[in-house]
Structure 1
Amino acid sequence: MAPQRPLKSSKKTLQVLRPKNAGKKVQKKTPAASNLASLDNDLPDGYVLSQHPFYRKFRESLMVDREPQFAFYIGAIKVTYTRGIAAFGKGTMKVAVIGGGPAGLATLRFLARAHEYFPIPPIDVQLFEAESEIGGTFSYRVYEDAELVSSKYLTAFSDFRLPEDAPDFVTPQVYVQYLKDYATEFAIWSKIHCNTKVQAIRRGTDGVGHILTLMQDGFSSQWACDAVAVCSGINGNPVMPYVEGIERVPTVIHSSRLKSRAQFGKDTNVFIMGAGETAMDLAYLAVTSDAKSVTLCHRDGFFCAPKIIPVPQPMGAGPSNEGGRPNKPVDTSVASLFDTAYVHPKLQKSQLLWMYYDQWIKKMHWLISGTEEGPDQWVGQISTSRKYMDSILLCKSDKALPYMSAGKRSSSWANRVRSWFMNVPINDTDGKTIDVVTWPESIDKNGYVQFEKKLPNDSSIPQDQLKPDVMVFATGYTREFAFLDKDYPCVSQTNVRGIYKEGDVTLGFIGFVRPAIGAIPPLAELQAQLWVLRLLQDKFPKEVPNTRDPNALASYDLDYQIHSRGNYNFYETKRAVDHESYAYQLALDMGSAPTITYVMKKG
């Protein structure tokens, strides 16, 4: 068993270990409350009495679950503790936040400053991050030339923006620095514990409260609290689907381990497995590396929606805004007014709006590029059964697209006429291409890929002659919470807006929804606000009543989940949502969506 010691923190904590001065004469009687303050000053570093009366605070500050009865020292004071008397839910509220990414930091901030907005005592909230610094996947799963697929306008938190001089799409390094600046701005560094892994969480006595088992620098400790926010992110354990004969490929890695072009090697045949944003980024890295060929494999196509729609060229005269500003980011052009906001619930829940968006997007793409998929996407089409905008997770990385479409564009008379009137710019690929094929069924004894289903128009190379040297699986991650005891609900059971399970608000999952087009951090910020509000209403019903401001709309249910089509249900598997609808739903639930009358009065 690992040795036990308290957490490292800038804040003094109660230590359940015998201090150096424990050899002094022991006072058998627990000191009176009036003497506690003076005793605090005599304690060595790491030992502190935080609140009176002593036993109440100690029960809430319990860090170690040992024998049924054990003794510990506070300075020279010996105290005997009998397990089972811990009383959660009284005195100072304690909350644990797991994960130091955007979701965790936003949740920490709202909890740490809740007493500034409600008449409640300060909350003792601590954030535990397993890695050596905050930032989550933006710090540790980053590759060469990476940049965010959501714009700085949407990705930033509501009251702390990215710098004005930052590009529309920042690098992960810039975003991590932004998160550090956020922690500084709201003074939450002292509550962040890096290099601290949460190994287990179990219910407290009689199912009340939660006890965390933590590992820090090889030392194990436990921390008891009233509530837990799981903010560990959607990028958990890497997934690598098995392909028969995969052992015959010389190099097989997951995208989480690929950092630079050099890893593709020289004169190699590279296979990118997957068709999401990471797969597209890595395909671009591969085709601009020293690799001999690049092939991307997909299961049922993809729909590419570039972060910025290219400015079409009218009548072959060159870009229409040459020397001017480019188009604005797509994620800033998604309307919510009279779409999700201030729309009759029956209309919002109907298919009429989705039918309009579906036809608008497809026809506009065809007008400017000749294909209904992403602009200039001539390969990797989605099957007809699910090619509908209410069921698709859009791929917002498009650097690889010109290499995929090279040589595949229609040469029909109709397309030539259309492209003469208007067409997106065609980027020069210097003769390089990316082949797009279906998912391989197996790899034969000679190392060649075999396919169950062939799409001959997708590949310029006969599919029986594809022999990979390097295979990169950009196939995502599973959401696993091995640290949660078996009696806890999982994400799929969070029936209150995908945040917590009804009847157990003390365990929240923040940051586990994925917008079809949008950004996770601002949605996580709203999730954190709603969860903290419901938690406080449960803990402090008198101080934080569940009432609605007269200028706020009453809550009602919106249709915010991405729909299921063609045997694909991205809400069930990825918690996929429509960004604007989900954000408005959370605002309605919190009572922060103003009435149209109130908005008009404000001008």
Structure 2
Amino acid sequence: MRVVIIGAGPSGLVACKTLLEAATHDYPFDPVILEQEDDVGGTFRYRSYENANLVSSKQLTSFSDFRLPLSHPDHLTLEEYVDYLKDYASHFKLWPRIQLSCKVIQISRNSEGGHIVSYVRRRPDNPAEWGTEPITIHTPYLAICTGLHVVPQIPAIPGVENVRKNNPKAQIFHSSEYKYREQLRDRKVLILGTGETGMDLAYEAAKAGAKEAVLCSRAGFLSFPKALNDFSLLGFKFESKTPVPIDSLITNLGETAYVHPWVAKSHIRWFISDFVIKRVLWVLTGTQAGCNQWVGELEPQRLGRAYVFLNKSHKAMPYINRPYRHRPRFMDYLSRYIDPPEDMPPQTHFTVDLAPFPTHFTESGQAVFPLDRDAQGRPKRKDAVRIQEKEVKPDMVIYATGYKQDFEFLEKGEYKTPEEADVRNVCWSGDPSVGFIGFVRPGVGAIPPISEIQSMFWVSLLKNQVTLPVSPPHYHLLVSENARIKYGVDHSTYVSTLAKDIGAAPGLWQIWREYGVHVLTCYCFGAAFVPFYRLVGPYKSAAAPAIIKTELWDTITRRGILGNVAMGLIPMVFYLTLNCMAWVAEQVSGLMHVRGL
């Protein structure tokens, strides 16, 4: 059973490894990976830049049965992560399955069943060019793992070309072309986009010695550090030598495991946690727009876990906050969140100006920013007011505007796109032979572990181990009709849902009976780590209990007693009570229906 996998990033590698381990006499999967670049790693290798780090923790991002040492820092550099992927390929003997420098040019239906994959290789005499003679593979199954971050998304802004007309040395490019901090030195930088890349670039501009940096946001963002830093209460400073990664804080029991369908459908868990977090942030930092975020706030109806992708690149926030952070001294004495120190000069007192997206550029190359007002005539954004006072004539414009999906190699009319994949965002009804792995984006979390559970789900589907139709999807983030990104999911809800589909979500009694109190406690207090879903079911792993008892247990003990009470025990008791109330209401409703009331 040949399976063609397109892409040798983390999604393609874990799909290949999952197929190999799931192969049986009845399902002799024979995967091959086609990768157009000259090495594995995908976007982590070919669209990376100096000083870039993963914002998701090693505990969450590492694959379930290939972990990093406990002593390794929580957050990897991109170079370290690419090395990790290479080690993963070596450990599971994937290299013979990987064909590098192979570009897929067309995928079509085979009239006799399956698919025809056509690709070309780089010319050996001229690696910069592709060969002209296509090579074809006939395959019954196809895994598309090309990733979310490949084709740059560049919005049209009238007059942007005037920047270069007025300054021949000016540069305009997408963030995928940014590589080194030195590129920003002595520049007047305009960065379009406040995603994690845009935030990184703003920080790098401050540290590079840029003349000025203006960071443009369409409609705001929600900023949190990737790891909780120090804070003080009543003058007492609470410090941690090993800050807790923020993606390991959501507890399992009551919010991911054992959730009543009514509670899941209403998304009330998300709204309640948003309500509590906003109040805690206000007390601790003086603002509830984000963690110590004093500008760039989202509209109230979009502020929270249910709607947005958390921006965990927090390093630029001290530079962005400077003109806006105003808090009475006594409030800072009562409580204060302490941003990480600005490690080294230059630019210690540098300010990154926040602004709306420019409407256009004038003939002289000056950026023009809108000043939208509400029904009462008041400006909607304070950063828009402040930027009107400045003359912004950049000599470098960087589009940190993300990427778009492009599947030109799929035969038109014969294949759908990942956004149309109605079976758990992995494949579409009636045709599980094509799997899309790694095409959802978590609000808080990481794509690689999602790709791992998606691979398990897809392989189980191919082996007829999943009963269709699956339960309703209550894991999608809430979006408006005009939202650009509609493939957002809540990480823990999505992962646990797929685990239930394939019979890999363990019961509490089952965990206690087979693994004891230690693993059970970790499962209840921990986040939705994939090793939890390898304790039972078709992908059961002998390595899972040891990983849980050591590395994942460490994420829980780091919180301390107070942290586990506040972020673990109290939410668990509350959500379990809520779910019990829903269950009782369901029983009463069913009883009344039976009696015809």
Q: TM-score under structure 1 normalisation? A: 0.77
| Residue 352 (structure 2) pairs with residue 434 (structure 1) | yes
- 1:109 maps to which residue? 17
| Residue 427 (structure 2) pairs with residue 500 (structure 1) | yes
Mapped contact 1:348–1:558 kept (Cα < 8 A): no
Mapped contact 1:310–1:424 kept (Cα < 8 A): yes
Q: CA offset at residue 578 of structure 1?
A: 0.2
- Equivalent position to 1:468, from 394, 398, 420: 394
- Equivalent position to 1:258, from 170, 175, 178: 178
- 1:32 maps to which residue? none
- 1:36 maps to which residue? none
- Equivalent position to 2:331, from 400, 418, 422: 418
The residue type paired with residue 248 of structure 1 is N
CA–CA distance in structure 1, aligned partners of residues 371 and 395 of structure 2:
22
| Residue 86 (structure 2) pairs with residue 160 (structure 1) | no
- 1:306 maps to which residue? 225
CA–CA distance in structure 1, aligned partners of residues 509 and 238 of structure 2:
41
User: For residues 451-462 of structure 1, what are the structure 2 equivalents within 5 Å?
Assistant: 451-453=369-371, 455-457=381-383, 462=388
Q: For residues 500 and 351 of structure 1, do their structure 2 counterparts lie closer, same or farther at Cα, with a shift above 3 Å needed? A: closer
Count of matched residue pairs: 486
Unmatched 5+ residue regions in structure 1? Answer: 1-92, 538-544, 549-553
CA–CA distance in structure 1, aligned partners of residues 43 and 191 of structure 2:
20
CA–CA distance in structure 2, aligned partners of residues 389 and 468 of structure 1:
34
Unmatched 5+ residue regions in structure 2? Answer: 123-130, 164-169, 373-380, 517-597
Mapped contact 1:449–1:464 kept (Cα < 8 A): no
Mapped contact 1:255–1:473 kept (Cα < 8 A): yes
- Equivalent position to 1:523, from 424, 428, 450: 450
| Residue 62 (structure 2) pairs with residue 142 (structure 1) | no
| Residue 280 (structure 2) pairs with residue 364 (structure 1) | yes
- 1:126 maps to which residue? 32
Mapped contact 2:295–2:382 kept (Cα < 8 A): no
Mapped contact 1:253–1:472 kept (Cα < 8 A): yes
Q: TM-score under structure 2 normalisation? A: 0.78
Mapped contact 1:340–1:581 kept (Cα < 8 A): yes
Mapped contact 2:185–2:211 kept (Cα < 8 A): no
- 2:154 maps to which residue? 240
Q: CA offset at residue 555 of structure 1?
A: 6.7
Q: For each residue in 1:231-261, what CA deviation from the matched residue of structure 2 results, as whole angstroms up to 9, or x when unmatched?
A: 0000121011111100011311100000012
- Equivalent position to 1:564, from 474, 479, 496: 479
- 2:116 maps to which residue? 211
CA–CA distance in structure 1, aligned partners of residues 106 and 325 of structure 2:
54
| Residue 75 (structure 2) pairs with residue 169 (structure 1) | yes
Residues 325-334 or 147-156, more deviating? 325-334
Q: For each residue in 1:487-516, what CA deviation from the matched residue of structure 2 results, as whole angstroms up to 9, or x when unmatched?
A: 111112100000001101111100001100
CA–CA distance in structure 1, aligned partners of residues 185 and 224 of structure 2:
30
Q: For residues 333 and 156 of structure 1, do their structure 2 counterparts lie closer, same or farther at Cα, with a shift above 3 Å needed? A: same
The residue type paired with residue 599 of structure 1 is I
Residues 143-152 or 449-458, more deviating? 449-458
CA–CA distance in structure 2, aligned partners of residues 406 and 430 of structure 1:
12
CA–CA distance in structure 1, aligned partners of residues 276 and 479 of structure 2:
21
Q: CA offset at residue 172 of structure 1?
A: 0.9
- 1:446 maps to which residue? 364
- Equivalent position to 2:2, from 78, 94, 113: 94
The residue type paired with residue 590 of structure 1 is I
Q: CA offset at residue 574 of structure 1?
A: 4.3
Q: For each residue in 1:327-368, what CA deviation from the matched residue of structure 2 results, as whole angstroms up to 9, or x when unmatched?
A: 310101112211121121112222421221111211111121
Structure possessing the higher radius of gyration over alpha carbons: 1
CA–CA distance in structure 2, aligned partners of residues 546 and 518 of structure 1:
25
The residue type paired with residue 482 of structure 1 is E
| Residue 407 (structure 2) pairs with residue 481 (structure 1) | yes
Residues 397-406 or 358-367, more deviating? 358-367
- Equivalent position to 1:342, from 240, 258, 281: 258
Larger RCO of the pair (alpha carbons < 8 Å, separation 6+): 2
- Equivalent position to 2:312, from 373, 396, 408: 396
- Equivalent position to 1:588, from 487, 500, 504: 500
Greater helix content: 2
Q: CA offset at residue 459 of structure 1?
A: 6.7
CA–CA distance in structure 1, aligned partners of residues 142 and 415 of structure 2:
11
CA–CA distance in structure 1, aligned partners of residues 96 and 188 of structure 2:
49
CA–CA distance in structure 2, aligned partners of residues 316 and 446 of structure 1:
52
Q: For residues 434 and 504 of structure 1, do their structure 2 counterparts lie closer, same or farther at Cα, with a shift above 3 Å needed? A: same
- Percent identity of the aligned residues? 37
CA–CA distance in structure 2, aligned partners of residues 182 and 386 of structure 1:
39
Q: CA offset at residue 384 of structure 1?
A: 2.2
Q: For residues 129 and 400 of structure 1, do their structure 2 counterparts lie closer, same or farther at Cα, with a shift above 3 Å needed? A: same
- 1:200 maps to which residue? 106
Mapped contact 2:369–2:388 kept (Cα < 8 A): no
Q: CA offset at residue 569 of structure 1?
A: 4.2
Q: CA offset at residue 470 of structure 1?
A: 0.5
CA–CA distance in structure 1, aligned partners of residues 387 and 407 of structure 2:
43
- 2:197 maps to which residue? 278
- 1:297 maps to which residue? 216
The residue type paired with residue 490 of structure 2 is D
Q: For each residue in 1:401-442, what CA deviation from the matched residue of structure 2 results, as whole angstroms up to 9, or x when unmatched?
A: 00000131124xxx4332111101254562111000111001
Q: For residues 433 and 464 of structure 1, do their structure 2 counterparts lie closer, same or farther at Cα, with a shift above 3 Å needed? A: closer
The residue type paired with residue 197 of structure 1 is K
Give the root-mean-square deviation of aligned CA atoms.
Answer: 2.0
Mapped contact 1:557–1:585 kept (Cα < 8 A): no
Q: For residues 257 and 432 of structure 1, do their structure 2 counterparts lie closer, same or farther at Cα, with a shift above 3 Å needed? A: same
Q: For residues 227 and 436 of structure 1, do their structure 2 counterparts lie closer, same or farther at Cα, with a shift above 3 Å needed? A: same
